[in-house]
Amino acid sequence: MTHSGTDKQNTLKQLLQLPVLVAALGYLVDMYDLFLFNVVRVPSLKELGFEGDQLFEQGASLLNIQMAGMLIGGILWGVMGDKRGRLSVLFGSIIIYSLANIANGMVSTIPQYALCRFIAGVGLAGELGAGVTLVTEILPKQIRGYGTTIVATLGLVGAIAAYFVAELFEWRISYYVGGGMGLLLLILRINIFESKIFTDVKNKHVKRGNLLMLFNNKTRFVKYMMSILVGLPIWFVVGILITFSPEFAKAAGIVEPINAGKAVMLTFTGQVFGDIASGFLSQYMQSRKKVILLFILMSLVFVLVYLLIPASNSAVFYLTCAFLGFCNGYWTLFITIAAELFGTNLRATVATTVPNFVRGATIPLLALFKWLKPDMGIMTAALIIGVSTSVIALIALWNIDETFHKDMDYVE
């Protein structure tokens, strides 16, 4: 066998080791649950007795409650990941969101629905950050970008699966399926191991998981805030443009009814390809920042197309959703940069809180959207927020260091 062939075989062996696959499958179940609500929002609320504008109002309220859970969970799991280890988060988070999912299939009132979404949000918050942290620490720097791409890609398959399961079964069964998948995955996690980098730091007298360290040092604080702001356009697209796609299509004059679940599915199908493309492009260019810049600019272009050049029919509208999803494909790179920017004693805290603060940004973005919409109309309100989030993300990216070649074995 040639030297090149042996290298490829070794690389593949490292990428397909159990911790990487378990982190990827965990994110698959995580994304299934996270976006199942977007898919079943309308049918579930209709069964609970809501119609018309109430579908938007109650849907927005439940989404905010879920995101509030993720904000709180992001902090809890992030700190735990650095204090007790990455595996403690991977076990604890999946138990909580699996049981919350099962309970969600039994709700009969809005307060019950809200409680389940909040608890599920807390559980969901830990999965991605802990998975990315573990993968970046166990893989060599030359290939860790491929590892996080595998995690993100399988995760986004979960969002697509949510659509098809909801199409095949009624919404309550769809929640049961998510809970069942999570509990099955829990069995796989029994055999995975902690990263050596974290184990070594654990044996030293170093402050770990101290959230205040992100705020009591100006350099760390700026770095942390910039890491969060880079991801804002992704959740503007998902949390507003796609979640409320039926309302945007109606405002655009499309007569055919738009299925929000189908829009979500196509968006995340696009994002799967975007994540793969950005991951490989990043490895080829040996840069995270250049690829993220490209994807933010592409996203801005398609946001302008979505809002300023309304689709003439449902087919074109759905295609635009898929392109928006592709442009969201820097999600993995943005979290990978966050993990790479900070030392082992704060890495899980950062990698877990950053994506959840970005997800949680849906709350103020949605509040601003609802405030602007009555006076400006749905399209103009979204346009103002969309352009603003892109500009903020570009400024933040400018102020972040390139991390592609950075060694992970260091502390703050």
Residue 394, φ and ψ in degrees, nearest 5:
-65, -40
The full set of domains in the chain, from first to last, is: 12-190+207-398 (1.20.1250.20)
120-134, 314-328, 389-403, range with the lowest pLDDT: 120-134
**Given a cut of 70, is residue 373 above it in pLDDT?**
yes
**Given a cut of 70, is residue 3 above it in pLDDT?**
no
Residue 258, φ and ψ in degrees, nearest 5:
-100, 130
DSSP labels, 322-333: HHHHHHTTTHHH
Dihedral Cα 344, 137, 192, 7, nearest 10 deg = -170
18-22, 74-78, 312-316, range with the lowest pLDDT: 18-22
- Banded model confidence at residue 54, pLDDT cuts 50, 70, 90: confident
- Banded model confidence at residue 4, pLDDT cuts 50, 70, 90: low
pTM of the model: 0.81
Residues 329, 326: Cα–Cα separation, whole Å: 5
Dihedral Cα 135, 137, 141, 145, nearest 10 deg = 20
Q: What is the pLDDT of residue 1?
A: 45
Residues 266, 260: Cα–Cα separation, whole Å: 10
- Banded model confidence at residue 68, pLDDT cuts 50, 70, 90: confident
Span 317-358, pLDDT tens digits: 999 999 999 999 998 888 889 989 998 889 989 988 998 888
75-84, 106-115, 131-140, 264-273: which has the highest mean pLDDT? Answer: 106-115
- Stretch 63-89: mean pLDDT, rounded? 88
Span 350-366, pLDDT tens digits: 988 998 888 878 889 98
Distances (CA, A) of 284 to 146, 150, 184: 11, 16, 36
Percent of the residues in the chain that have a pLDDT greater than 70, as a whole number: 98
Work out the mean pLDDT of the chain and round it to a whole number.
Answer: 88
Dihedral Cα 393, 124, 82, 401, nearest 10 deg = -10
- Stretch 369-396: mean pLDDT, rounded? 94
Contacts of 203 (CB under 8 A, 6+ apart): none
Give me Rg for the CA atoms of the chain. 20
Distances (CA, A) of 190 to 90, 178, 184, 330: 10, 20, 11, 31
Span 192-220, pLDDT tens digits: 777 888 888 887 878 888 888 999 899 99
- Banded model confidence at residue 5, pLDDT cuts 50, 70, 90: low
Residues 5, 99: Cα–Cα separation, whole Å: 45
What tokens were used for 336?
């990978």
**Given a cut of 60, is residue 377 above it in pLDDT?**
yes
Span 135-190, pLDDT tens digits: 888 888 888 888 888 887 787 788 788 888 998 999 999 999 999 998 988 887 77
- Banded model confidence at residue 381, pLDDT cuts 50, 70, 90: very high
